[in-house]
């Protein structure tokens, strides 16, 4: 796979997460809380924590992916995050939870539950490819331009 394609893929995936998470962040967090609650997995306290923190995590991870900053950590964090999303969506599908009603995913993307699962799997595959070709993925990145600490300057 050409390096240019991997860099572009990295930026597209990153931009996707930036846009989707920004949409959640500029709207009241209660909307995303409702989405989290709909999966009926977590206790109320944890639902609240997740609703307030996950959009920020997605946003910064996405932004750093676009910029090519801390790529090693970011790519692996995304893989863990997406694996978690896939597990949660899968259990909702198995339990046949009514998650396609009422604009539950009101926002930029409206997908049935199986569609969400497929999208998450697709993104996970992309990220695994990017991790396996990490050096080429980081070809155009801030990681290459900047020193990690002062002694490298």
Partner 1 sequence: MRKLSKTNLTILIILLSVALITGLKYFLGSQAGSGPIDPSTARSKGSPQAPLQILEFIDLQCPACAKGHMVLSNYIDYYPGQIYVKLKYFPFASHQHSIRATRYAECAARQEKFWPFVDVLLQEQPRWAGLINAEPAFAQFAQSAALDPQKLNACLSDESIDKIIAESKSEGTSRGVQSTPTYFINNEMIVGWRTLDQYLTSYFARQTSVQIMSTEQ
Q: Is 138 helix (H, G, I), strand (E, B) or coil?
A: coil
142 near partner 1 (CB under 8 A) = yes
CB-based contacts of 88, cutoff 8 Å, min separation 6: 39, 41
Q: Which of 9, 41, 69, 124 binds partner 1 (CB under 8 A)?
A: 69
Find the binder of partner 1 among 11, 15, 57, 70 (CB under 8 A): 70
Binding piece for partner 1, criterion CB under 8 A, among 9-17, 30-38, 77-85, 118-126 = 30-38
Looking at the Cβ atoms of 67 and 119, the one nearer to partner 1 is: 67
The CB-of-80 to partner 1 minimum distance in angstroms stands at: 20
Do 16 and 61 touch, CB atoms closer than 8 A?
Answer: no
Spatial contact of 55 and 24, defined as CB atoms under 8 Å apart: yes
C-alpha span between 6 and 140 (Å, rounded)? 10
Cα–Cα–Cα angle for 60, 26, 10, nearest 5°?
30
Q: Does 139 bind partner 1 (CB under 8 A)?
A: no
The Cα 41–Cα 51 span in angstroms is: 13
Stretch that binds partner 1, among 3-11, 34-42, 76-84, 124-132 (CB under 8 A): 34-42
Contact 124, 80 (CB under 8 A): no
Among 38, 78, 116, 120, binds partner 1 (CB under 8 A): 38
- Taking every pair of Cα atoms in the chain, the longest distance, rounded to a whole number of angstroms, is 55
> C-beta of 127: minimal distance to partner 1 in Å?
20
Binding region for partner 1 (CB under 8 A): 22, 25-28, 30-31, 33-35, 37-38, 44, 59-60, 63-64, 67, 69-70, 98, 101-104, 106-107, 110, 142-143, 146-150, 152-153
């Amino acid at each position: 796979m050409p390096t240019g394609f991997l860099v572009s893929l990295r930026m597209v995936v990153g931009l996707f997460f930036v846009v989707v998470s920004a949409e959640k962040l500029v709207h009241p967090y209660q909307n995303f809380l409702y989405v989290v609650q709909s999966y009926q997995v977590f206790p109320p306290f944890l639902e609240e924590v997740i609703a307030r923190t996950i959009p920020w995590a997605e946003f910064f991870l996405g932004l750093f992916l676009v910029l090519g900053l801390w790529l090693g950590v970011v790519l692996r964090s995304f893989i863990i995050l997406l694996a978690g999303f896939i597990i949660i969506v899968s259990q909702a599908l198995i339990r046949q939870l009514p998650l396609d009603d009422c604009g539950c995913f009101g926002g930029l993307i409206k997908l049935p539950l199986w569609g969400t699962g497929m999208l998450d799997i697709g993104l996970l595959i992309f990220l695994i490819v990017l991790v396996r070709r990490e050096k080429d993925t980081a070809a155009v990145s801030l990681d290459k331009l900047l020193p990690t600490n002062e002694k490298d300057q």
